């Protein structure tokens, strides 16, 4: 992976744009980005670290867009942000000590599990809910949510945005659009804290991350504008199809093809 072909660069950039867009719309962008990185032959830990960087860029893009539009009161998320960071650091540290060959078996299983969760939760994503921002800062369930979801983000990552969205809808009765916007800083906090450990351990392919970061930034901005201004239901069906293809390809590569 030290040398990327022009075609590989193009594919990674497009994959990151799609991942950044879907991650902003409904979470789950890593189900596209991680398989794309693994298909290049990248080491699993390196792929997860590289995905963290490009994903963080997309999350930052979307968060800045929502801040500019004054759509989110981020002050109410302080407790959730702290415990998300703690959980993410612990998950990332655990990932560093698991052998690569075991990760190659685990990653397809995790991708499949998240994809099934995403499909099962798709209907809930689309159900309307009443927005109650006042429940967020004082709710003790944020301690557990931040710790558990943050740990998963640090250890693996794909689908974290979707998990946050469903959790915010279920626990705090946010509607879909508000849950999507409030999930951005929480996911960004987990990504940045995990990213610091990946960088310190040299577990990031900077060239791939840079190329995908551009696509992810543009995708995050595009997705954020869609959340605010457009009906996004039909887009989720399209992106769900892409997730299925990329997950099946990863399963085929690591479980079916000979080593």
What DSSP letter does each residue of 81-145 carry, written as one string? Answer: HHHHHHHHHHHHHHHHTS-HHHHHHHHHHHHHHHHHHHHHHHHHHHS-----GGGTTT-THHHHH
What pLDDT shows up at residue 136? 52
- As a whole number, the mean pLDDT across the chain is 80
Judge whether 1 lies within some domain.
Answer: no
pLDDT digits (tens, 9 = 90+) for 186-200: 989 999 999 999 999
pLDDT digits (tens, 9 = 90+) for 100-118: 888 888 888 888 887 787 6
* 98 vs 104, more confident: 98
What pLDDT shows up at residue 129? 46
What pLDDT shows up at residue 229? 64
Number of independent structural domains in the chain: 1
Q: State yes or no: pLDDT of 122 exceeds 60.
A: no
pLDDT digits (tens, 9 = 90+) for 145-193: 899 999 999 998 887 877 887 788 778 777 777 787 888 889 899 999 9
What pLDDT shows up at residue 121? 63
Judge whether 123 lies within some domain.
Answer: yes
Domain encompassing residue 234: 6-256
Judge whether 145 lies within some domain.
Answer: yes
- What is the rounded distance in angstroms from the CA atom of residue 251 to the CA atom of residue 4? 23
Give the pLDDT mean for 59-75: 77
Tell me the percentage of the chain whose pLDDT exceeds 70: 82
What pLDDT shows up at residue 109? 86
What pLDDT shows up at residue 128? 45
Judge whether 91 lies within some domain.
Answer: yes
- What is the rounded distance in angstroms from the CA atom of residue 50 to the CA atom of residue 213? 9
């Amino acid at each position: 992976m030290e040398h990327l072909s022009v075609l590989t660069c193009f594919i990674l950039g497009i994959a990151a744009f799609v991942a950044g867009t879907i991650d902003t719309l409904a979470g789950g962008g890593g189900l596209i980005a991680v398989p794309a990185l693994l298909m290049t032959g990248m080491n699993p830990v390196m792929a997860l670290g590289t995905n963290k960087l490009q994903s963080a860029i997309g999350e930052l893009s979307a968060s800045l867009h929502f801040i500019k539009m004054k759509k989110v009161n981020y002050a109410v998320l302080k407790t959730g942000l702290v415990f998300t960071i703690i959980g993410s650091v612990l998950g990332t540290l655990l990932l560093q000590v698991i052998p690569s060959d075991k990760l190659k078996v685990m990653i397809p299983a995790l991708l499949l599990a998240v994809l099934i969760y995403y499909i099962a939760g798709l209907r809930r994503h689309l159900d309307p809910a009443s927005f109650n921002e006042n429940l967020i800062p004082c709710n003790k369930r944020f301690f557990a949510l931040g710790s558990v979801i943050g740990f998963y983000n640090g250890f693996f990552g794909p689908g974290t945005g979707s998990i946050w969205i469903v959790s915010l809808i279920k626990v705090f009765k946010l509607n879909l659009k508000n849950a999507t916007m409030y999930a951005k800083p929480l996911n960004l906090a987990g990504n940045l804290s995990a990213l610091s450990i990946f960088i310190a351990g040299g577990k990031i392919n900077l060239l791939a991350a840079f190329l995908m970061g551009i696509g992810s930034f543009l995708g995050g901005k595009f997705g954020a504008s869609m959340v605010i201004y457009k009906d996004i239901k039909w887009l989720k069906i399209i992106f769900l199809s892409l997730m299925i293809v990329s997950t099946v390809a990863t399963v085929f590569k690591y479980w079916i093809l000979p080593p």
